[in-house]
Amino acid sequence: MSEQHDSPIKTPQQLVWIVVLSFVVPIFVIVLLVKYVVGAKVTGAGSDAMTPEAIAERLRPVGTVSLAGASGPRALQSGEAVYTLACTACHGAGIAGAPKTGDAAAWAPRIKQGYDTLVKHAVEGFKGSAGVMPAKGGNADLDPVEVARAVVYMVNKSGGSLKEPEAPAPAPAK
Ligand code: HEC
């Protein structure tokens, strides 16, 4: 009975091969597995999936904000925003003879003049018996449509029922 057990490795050369292979084979398997997992995203030459445009498109956040340039029409503010910005100083508390927002009695005779007159007075300014209504409430850079929206907002809070003006049609493209 031999003490030497029966190994398949007979020569030092075989031992070297076994050692080398026991390193190389697992690494090869791991590389294959990684390729398999990542493989879906790896695209071959000739694909346009990696062009800057395609990458930018994939990275693009949902929804974009486009600010109208100085040449383009700017976004018009809502009646409430304009009112808070430019009108509430006088009309909020009824200062300097301004008819107070919400005071239906003070507004009723003015509302009777009609939308066009009210807007005209608000946009161009108006000196009445109660005091002076400054043009656009003193904010010259407001769009007339914004002022009209503020008039509608204020009047509708004061017993009126006006319809908010539509935004003006965009200028035809040149
Ligand atoms: C500096 C104070 C002041 C500010 C700011 C102001 N108003 Fe007036 N507004 C007045 C006064 C005063 C009157 C009343 C004038 C009168 O009848 O004698 C008036 C009247 C009006 C009228 C009634 C006009 C009419 O024909 O009876 C409208 C509509 C109006 N304002 C809209 C606005 C809007 C819209 C804004 C904001 C964009 C604004 N006002 C900001 C002082 C102001």
Give, for all 174 residues of the chain, the pLDDT tens digit. Answer: 555 677 888 889 999 999 999 999 999 999 999 888 876 665 666 677 777 788 888 787 776 666 555 555 678 889 999 999 999 999 999 988 999 999 999 999 999 999 999 999 999 999 988 889 999 999 988 999 999 999 999 999 999 888 888 776 555 555
152 in contact with ligand 1, CB cutoff 6 A? no
Which two three-digit tokens encode residue 92?
A: 């909020």
Of the candidates 121, 116, 103, the one whose C-alpha atom is nearest the C-alpha of residue 162 is: 116
Looking at beta carbons, which pairs linking 50-55 to residues 24 or more positions away fall under 8 Å?
A: none
Measured by CA distance, the residue closest to atom 14 of ligand 1 is 98
Contact 122 CB / ligand 1 (< 6 Å): yes
Nearest-atom index, ligand 1, CA of 155: 29
Atom of ligand 1 nearest to the CA of 120: 26
In the block, tokens 């407001």 appear at 142
70 Cα: distance to centroid of ligand 1 (angstroms): 30
Task: Kindly compute the dihedral angle of the four CA atoms of residues 135, 139, 143, 146, in this order, to the nearest 10 degrees.
Answer: -90
In this structure, the residue with its CA closest to atom 42 of ligand 1 is 133
